[in-house]
Structure 1
Amino acid sequence: MKLAVLGSGSKGNSIFLETDNIKLLIDAGFSGKKIEEQLKNIGENICNIDGILITHEHGDHILGAGIISRKYDVPIYITKESYEAGILKLGKLNSQNLRFIEENFEVGASLIYPFDVMHDAERTVGFRIEESTGSKVAIATDLGYIDNTVREAFKNVDVIVLECNYDYNKLMECSYPWDLKARVKSRSGHLSNIDCARFLCEIYHKDLKKIYLAHMSKESNDPKLALDEVMEELSKNNIEIPVEIATQDRGTKLIDF
């Protein structure tokens, strides 16, 4: 299993994942050109993408999906609710390339387990993806609350990509209007640094290989602050694990797990 976060934040999100020789994008929230460039940076060709998994219909997750699907004949896996809410952003798709997510499904030999999360879109899902060899990754980049569904999805995975969106004090002090601040910190908004950190401690296990902190706000967070808060909580629980921040403007390296 190989993974690289091509970029993550309020201006665009996309993750590259290779599993069982199938190459996937989880979200495509940048322009097609930008995603093509980010893939080249990790030695991958956009022509080889086998599918795009969509978490929800917000523009920072689907901006380039329709373009890539049409240009490179790539299937899009999306819930019916998100498709209907985001149809104008996606544009016209080849019916053969529109795959509605209803339950667990397979792409190649890999199993994809979508799970619902609390976020203020028509419907938002995260993904647990299991390779036939046993490697597992769980991804949730937009969620306001950790419920039992999320806990179950993140159990015993090898790699975690989890939202670490805001610091509470910085959120309260930033220039956002009050209604936006209330939305961000609500159960259908985004995950704070401390809630992210506590959940990571809760679901840590000895075979966990790496954690990526995703969808970090530029207005109500700071990379050093977020990393310090997460690492402090992990340290309190005697947990040592590689943690990397997935930034908005620069992708991570492609790592083979």
Structure 2
Amino acid sequence: MLEVIVNGSSSKGNNYILVDGESSLMLEAGIKFKEVLKSGASMKNVVGLLVTHEHGDHIKHANDILASVNFDMYATQGTIEAGIEKGFLSDRAKYRYKAIEVGKQFLLGEWKIIAFDVNHDVAEPVGYLIESPSKERIVFITDTIYCPVKFPSGITHWLVECNHSVDILDENVEQGVILPFLRDRIIKSHMNLETCKDFFRNNDLTSTKQILLLHLSGENSEPQRFKQELEEVTGKTVEIARRKE
């Protein structure tokens, strides 16, 4: 049975661990290693670290994590190069960064992984389609305006960004909570509630065991509303990704 451990899911830092029996896979490196350890997950069982893009809340603690473990980081070449350019990654540690190709399956232990394109304001961002050792099938999507991929039937776990609602965002601009330029960036780089609904309407949810909404904005979302509206659309129980204390 697959367990999803949430260590961080916000602009302050993102990190998730997928646990399937005696094998685990880490996603994102946006929080310190000492915070990752608080999850209680065994690092000896982790086969690799997947990173989606080079923004700090997803990659800035990669070296901190890699310095204490035996597994490597996997990301697109564009993400690796941009991470080094921005100072989040070290050119001296290049041997720990493994470049992957979009659309080409690779293996980490018994985990099967395919990266796919998403739409974000960075060099070469991706989402991941993952098959675990016990044949659970996971879609991981974060930091994108929309997902251009329609997935085959059989997906069991959906980990999908639902960052904001446009009406809340506009209200916050009117009240001076956020500036208009930030609104424009959010609109052009993160998935909103209505787009998230459309995503689920367009995919086969027959095999779904879990829907987990990721990366909700602290100011521009309403978790209970998002949960309720997505449950109405999907007919499934919807969870909000919150750090497990």
Q: TM-score, normalised by structure 1?
A: 0.85
- Cα separation, partners in 2 of 1:231 and 1:20, compared to 1, 3 Å: closer
Contact 1:19 1:110 in 2 (8 A): no
Gap regions ≥5 residues in structure 2: none
How far did 1:101 drift?
0.9
- Aligned partners of 2:35 and 2:21: how far apart in 1? 26
**2:109 matches 1:108:** yes
| 1:57 corresponding residue in structure 2 | 54
- Aligned partners of 2:187 and 2:164: how far apart in 1? 9
Contact 2:105 2:115 in 1 (8 A): yes
Contact 1:67 1:90 in 2 (8 A): no
Q: Secondary structure at the match of 2:225?
A: helix
| 2:164 corresponding residue in structure 1 | 166
| Residues 66-119 of structure 1, C-alpha deviations (whole Å, 9 max, x = no match) | 111122232010111111111211235544422111232111122101001001
Q: Secondary structure at the match of 2:31?
A: coil
| 2:218 corresponding residue in structure 1 | 218
Task: Give the aligned residue type for 2:51.
Answer: I
| 1:78 corresponding residue in structure 2 | 75
Structure having greater relative contact order (Cα 8 Å, sep ≥ 6): 1
- Aligned partners of 1:111 and 1:130: how far apart in 2? 5
| 1:255 corresponding residue in structure 2 | none
Q: Secondary structure at the match of 1:115?
A: strand
Contact 1:143 1:190 in 2 (8 A): yes
Contact 1:5 1:251 in 2 (8 A): yes
Task: Give the aligned residue type for 2:161.
Answer: E
Q: Which has the higher helix share?
A: 1
Contact 1:194 1:229 in 2 (8 A): no
- Aligned partners of 2:14 and 2:153: how far apart in 1? 24
| 2:132 corresponding residue in structure 1 | 131
- Aligned partners of 1:121 and 1:245: how far apart in 2? 25
Q: Secondary structure at the match of 1:35?
A: helix
Identity, in percent, stands at: 31
| 1:207 corresponding residue in structure 2 | 207
Gap regions ≥5 residues in structure 1: 253-257
Q: Secondary structure at the match of 1:52?
A: strand
RMSD: 1.9
- Aligned partners of 2:153 and 2:22: how far apart in 1? 24
| 2:191 corresponding residue in structure 1 | 191
**2:217 matches 1:246:** no
Contact 1:69 1:93 in 2 (8 A): no
Contact 2:153 2:206 in 1 (8 A): no
How far did 1:158 drift?
0.5
- Aligned partners of 2:98 and 2:36: how far apart in 1? 21
Contact 2:201 2:233 in 1 (8 A): yes
| 2:66 corresponding residue in structure 1 | 69
Contact 1:70 1:94 in 2 (8 A): no
